[in-house]
Structure 1
Amino acid sequence: MAMAAPVKPIVRTLAGVVAAIKCSLGYVAPILRKARPRFLPSPWMDPPRLHCAFRAGAAERAQMNRTAKLYRLTAFQRLARLAALALALAEHRLAADAPTLLQWHYGDGGQGGPDLDEPVVTDRPDFTEASSTVGRGVVQLEGGYTYAYDSDDAGSAKSHSFPETLLRVGVLADWLELRMAWNYAEETTTQFGGPRQTSTGAEDLYLGVKWGLTGQAGVLPEMAIVTQMTVPTGSGDLSAGETLPGIVWLYGWDLNEWLATGAQTKADRALDDVTGEPFLELSQSWTVNYSLAERLGAFTEWFVIAPEGADSNHTEHYADGGFTFLVNNDLQLDIRAGVGLNAAAADYFLGSGFAIRR
């Protein structure tokens, strides 16, 4: 992807960002993939080398500690440089009052940005989130209810999820969106011939930032990135007990006046359902949206949740679909239903919800 004319003076800076990202992946990836052991003095230390340090003698440990200290400083310096370059780019786009953080060097550049004269664009009801932001000064509230059921030879499980609140606020620029979500859940597990167990309470608080990267330019997609995390504020068994970071890449296309498609690629730190050990949870989705009438829309979707390095969690495939109805340009209602496509997935789920913009 090339930059449009207003951003050309900082192309070399962006090349530095790419180099910094490559240098930093070795430090960031282990944090997402593996838990920090209780004896780790810093998350920047490489776990295999640390284990060797505990087996080594005093001299070797001292030398490795000195190496680790230098390793940590280098990592922080690189991340600081990356953050400074990102802030410089953001400041440039803020000064230009640009609708997106970047632009394609193709056609009109794909201006992007939200159009408040058009109907509200929401992150629900499908699994795939929108590749657009709400826009500066806009507050959008989304919520709903979901029921899910699963059974196998050992027993059954069902869950109720409500209110699935997602607050989206556009700040500083059209391409910057702050996000906060909260939910209450009830999960009941029944073993055939055994007891029934129920967990009820608030789930961990979700915090995120959506960055509008580009508008659509011909075959080149509208894109956004969400940097996010959950923080341990939930109740009992429904809380992870630690902060779980993640990142989402969103991309989509308007194909014509009545058909659009989009997808998301996601990576999250998650905890195993049985052992509680951390692993990298990957997911991929693809959705197709249809405009059936002036106020009536529909969608069909496939998505997969794939745990990498989990002890007991397995890959889950789903297909779902639903309808949306616009009460007016700022209020949308929705219904949805989905089924699991393999044994590890839930048997089915269904729900409904709303989105309101002001």
Structure 2
Amino acid sequence: MKSNRLWKTTIPGFIALFLCATSNFSPSLAGDFLPYDTQTSLSGWTPDSPEGPKLPATPFSPAERYIDNSYGDQSGDVHTYCVGSPGTLFQWSYENSFGGGPDLDAPLVTDRPDFTEASSTVGRGVSQLEFGYTYTYNADDGTTDRSQSLGEPLLRYGVFSNWLELRLALFPVDQRVTMAGRSNSTAGTEDLYLGAKIALTPQECFLPEMALIPQMTIPTGSNAFSDGEVLPGVNWIYAWEINDFISTAGSTQINRRVDEGTGRAYSELAQSWTIAYSLSDNLGAYTEWFVLAPNSADTDQTQHYFNGGFTYLINNDVQFDIRYGKGLNHAADDYFVGTGLSIRFK
């Protein structure tokens, strides 16, 4: 069985850095220049000024749209969504970038149903439960493998600041393998997943919204599904909102894995790219490619997948999703299909 993947190209990120290098690029700690419990000046304002703080002019129209719609009104007055805590750990520059982070009055942002995780956190004191079901089918050389991931619960909880969330997941699995007309079924749980998502930067013109997830699995699973050792990894996520209809994101991961054939550990590169479409206020869709590429594995091989799906927003705190994916090469599973629900508790 190809184990269930919770872990959801770098070149576009470096291109973005180059394009914005002349736009006063100056990464800084968010809390160093923007107190989030007040409206704060960004340029040319002092406490004695008769008028409130105004946004500086910027030559990049994408940044102007992003700032106006997300962080202020058309007058330029600064608005903050999560009072008392920076939304991201860093800012791209002193002049054009501020805020970021979760907006609790807007619809929830989920990590499912695609492979690429969200580039934002849930917010301090907010919990979000994402769960679902996935059926996976694969037939190779006279052996048929059918597996069901039951529940897929992922708990996300914001702690200390709006840019940090803790993550915990445990996947129950039921697998049935048929060979030469004889079937064998096994049920149990996979290893416990632990992680922490750090919201690094908001989007500024061509510069992406970014997050980093240090993560690991701990060998708590059933004998049939446990890897038997702690497997660490890291996930870097980068995303751009292009306009009101389309957004795009990618992730680059390096995770420790165990070879299914020999039990020897190796490092695996996981790369993904997704495009999301806003079809209406409640209905969304996505298409995505991802690859799992072992490095120095004994028997595990590179797997390519393409998948897509839909999301339906029941209300701002509840979202339903469906998805379908297909393996693109012989080593990949033939297909998978799933559905899920995400709930935010504020």
* Cα shift at 1:236: 1.1
CA distance in 2, matches of 1:6, 1:161: 39
Question: TM-score normalized by structure 2?
Answer: 0.76
Q: Residue 110 of structure 1 contacts residue 217 of structure 1 at CA under 8 Å; is this kept in 2?
A: no
The match for 2:216 among 215, 226, 229 is: 229
User: Which amino acid is 1:142 matched to?
Assistant: E
The match for 1:177 among 165, 174, 195 is: 165
What 5-or-longer segments of structure 1 have no aligned partner?
Answer: 10-95
Q: Does 1:3 align with 2:30?
A: no
The match for 2:150 among 148, 162, 166 is: 162
Which residue number corresponds to residue 220 of structure 1?
A: 207
Which residue number corresponds to residue 26 of structure 1?
A: none
CA distance in 1, matches of 2:29, 2:150: 47
* Cα shift at 1:107: 5.2
The match for 2:291 among 298, 301, 304 is: 304
CA distance in 2, matches of 1:259, 1:212: 21
CA distance in 1, matches of 2:86, 2:143: 54
Q: Residue 111 of structure 1 contacts residue 214 of structure 1 at CA under 8 Å; is this kept in 2?
A: no
Stretches of 4+ aligned residues off by more than 6 angstroms: 5-9
Task: Give the root-mean-square deviation of aligned CA atoms.
Answer: 1.8
Q: 3-state DSSP class of the match of 2:119?
A: coil
Q: 3-state DSSP class of the match of 1:237?
A: coil
* Cα shift at 1:4: 3.7
* Cα shift at 1:105: 1.4
CA distance in 2, matches of 1:312, 1:130: 32
The match for 2:195 among 208, 213, 219 is: 208
User: Which amino acid is 1:354 matched to?
Assistant: L
Which residue number corresponds to residue 225 of structure 2?
A: 238
Change (3 A) 1:153 1:339: same
Which residue number corresponds to residue 131 of structure 1?
A: 119
Q: Does 1:340 align with 2:327?
A: yes
Which residue number corresponds to residue 186 of structure 2?
A: 199
The structure richer in helix per residue is: 1
CA distance in 2, matches of 1:107, 1:165: 41
The match for 1:260 among 247, 251, 255 is: 247
User: Which amino acid is 1:169 matched to?
Assistant: Y
CA distance in 1, matches of 2:29, 2:166: 28
Q: Deviations over 1:58-82 (max 9, x none)?
A: xxxxxxxxxxxxxxxxxxxxxxxxx
The match for 1:140 among 102, 117, 128 is: 128
CA distance in 1, matches of 2:264, 2:276: 37
CA distance in 1, matches of 2:286, 2:258: 31
User: Which amino acid is 2:256 matched to?
Assistant: R
Q: Residue 326 of structure 1 contacts residue 333 of structure 1 at CA under 8 Å; is this kept in 2?
A: yes
Q: Residue 30 of structure 2 contacts residue 89 of structure 2 at CA under 8 Å; is this kept in 1?
A: no
* Cα shift at 1:226: 0.2
* Cα shift at 1:155: 1.4
Question: TM-score normalized by structure 1?
Answer: 0.73
* Cα shift at 1:203: 1.0
* Cα shift at 1:153: 2.2
Q: Residue 88 of structure 2 contacts residue 99 of structure 2 at CA under 8 Å; is this kept in 1?
A: yes
What 5-or-longer segments of structure 2 have no aligned partner?
Answer: 1-24, 34-83
Q: 3-state DSSP class of the match of 2:91?
A: coil
Q: Residue 277 of structure 2 contacts residue 286 of structure 2 at CA under 8 Å; is this kept in 1?
A: yes
Change (3 A) 1:5 1:321: closer
Which residue number corresponds to residue 78 of structure 2?
A: none
Q: Does 1:100 align with 2:88?
A: yes
CA distance in 2, matches of 1:303, 1:293: 26
Change (3 A) 1:148 1:102: same
The match for 2:237 among 250, 273, 286 is: 250
Q: Residue 110 of structure 1 contacts residue 216 of structure 1 at CA under 8 Å; is this kept in 2?
A: no
* Cα shift at 1:111: 2.5
CA distance in 2, matches of 1:6, 1:354: 33
CA distance in 1, matches of 2:271, 2:208: 17
Which residue number corresponds to residue 338 of structure 2?
A: 351
CA distance in 2, matches of 1:214, 1:234: 35
- The 5-angstrom pairing of residues 6-45 of structure 1 reads none
Aligned residues: 272
* Cα shift at 1:194: 5.8
* Cα shift at 1:5: 8.0
* Cα shift at 1:110: 4.7
CA distance in 2, matches of 1:205, 1:326: 29
Change (3 A) 1:275 1:101: same
* Cα shift at 1:8: 7.8
CA distance in 1, matches of 2:29, 2:196: 27
User: Which amino acid is 1:99 matched to?
Assistant: G
Which residue number corresponds to residue 39 of structure 2?
A: none
User: Which amino acid is 2:121 matched to?
Assistant: T
Change (3 A) 1:178 1:7: closer
Change (3 A) 1:284 1:107: farther
